[in-house]
A = this chain, B = another copy of it.
């Protein structure tokens, strides 16, 4: 029995409002974004990535970041909830700080080619840019979360070595990131590769500071989460209803759906603190706003059950 030593509880980091909606073609109003965050907060989630303080020229979906953050922080009864926002530079950080941010996120890639094509500089250069951002955030009493992309494959280079991931993780930890989210950006990872990558990273930073961020492009997100649980990882990023990938466009499946992760955890007796029924309701609600079905089998199956019992 290899699953004997599962943890008693895990923490889910909801990335739908930022990572999800940023990658949706369908524009979403500030009101809907804030209502989504409010509904998510009511499900029991304790970490909800809210928005990104980035150039509206490059990321028009996040142009309302100041409003979204201000209104999220003002939601009643949410003082225990973290609303991290992406802050890739000092300008973004200062804007976020001026709106009362309590947690920010910075990011690096584990692949040189991806770093060059995505943000036009080397991995080391990108980390050097984030260093003053992290420093200023910590000085302001703000927590910093780190993201690493391409930890299990790169669209330009193919395979990425576990050591390359571990090196970036070490540097982000040295900057003061309390948690490092390990992102399988293109979803190429399988469970064995995931465990090898985690093992390499665990040689550099404590497993307690690692989060798994797996994409479901090839259906591997849940097997990879299971493989990570076995290694002792207890934090997982997920996106309500699989926001960020379109189930009707072939090949565009991205973030794993939060409700699928919660279903698997609860099914194994692992606590998440999240009300699955409310989560599924929220998934249905936000998907209706953007005019589609949830990209989550759990949501679809549970909603079909409800419809059957209503029509019966």
Chain B CB within 8 A of A230 CB: yes
How many angstroms between the C-alpha atoms of A260 and B253 in the bound complex? 14
Contacting residue for A217 out of B218, B250, B269, B301, CB 8 A: B301
B residues in contact with A191, CB < 8 Å: 3, 226, 264, 268
Partner of A253, one of B2, B199, B267, B297: B297
In contact, B227 and A297 (Cβ under 8 angstroms): no
- Provide the residues of chain B in CB contact with A300, threshold 8 Å: 250-251, 253
Instruction: Specify which chain B residues have a CB less than 8 angstroms from the CB of A72 in the assembled complex.
Output: none
Q: Is A6's beta carbon under 8 Å from chain B?
A: yes
Chain B's nearest CB lies how many Å from the CB of A264? 6
Q: In residues 1-34 of chain A, which contact B (Cβ within 8 Å)?
A: 1-3, 6
Question: Is A267 within 8 A of B298, CB to CB?
Answer: no
Asked whether, in the complex, the Cβ of A268 is within 8 Å of the Cβ of B222, the reply is no
Chain B residues, CB < 8 A from A2: 2, 195, 227, 230-231
Contact A303 B251 (CB under 8 A): yes
A-B contact pairs, 13 of them (CB 8 A): A1-B196, A2-B231, A189-B267, A190-B263, A190-B264, A218-B298, A220-B222, A222-B222, A250-B303, A251-B304, A252-B304, A253-B297, A253-B301
- From the candidates B195, B218, B257, B307, name the one contacting A3 in the complex (CB within 8 A): B195
Of the candidates B218, B301, B304, which one forms a contact with A263 in the assembled complex, judged by CB atoms under 8 Å apart? B218
- Number of chain copies forming the complex: 2
Quick one: closest B residue to A225, CB to CB? B223
Q: Which residue from B226, B252, B267, B301 sits with its C-beta under 8 Å from A251?
A: B301
Q: Which residue from chain B places its CB closest to the CB of A253 in the assembled complex? A: B297
Given contacts A2-B227, A219-B296, A250-B301, 5 further A-B contacts (CB under 8 A): A191-B268, A192-B269, A217-B301, A226-B227, A250-B304
Q: Which residue of B lies closest to A300 (CB)?
A: B250
Is there contact, CB below 8 Å, between A190 and B1?
Answer: no
Which listed residue, B231, B268, B307, touches A192 by the CB 8 Å rule?
B268
Provide the bound-state CA to CA distance between A142 and B263, in Å: 42
Query: Is A195 touching B307 in the complex (CB atoms < 8 A)?
Result: no
Query: A162 vs B135: C-alpha distance in the bound complex, in angstroms?
Result: 54
Q: Does A193 have its Cβ within 8 Å of any Cβ on chain B? A: yes
How far is it, in angstroms, between the C-alpha of A267 and the C-alpha of B190 when the chains are bound?
A: 6
A216 interfacial by beta-carbon distance below 8 Å: yes
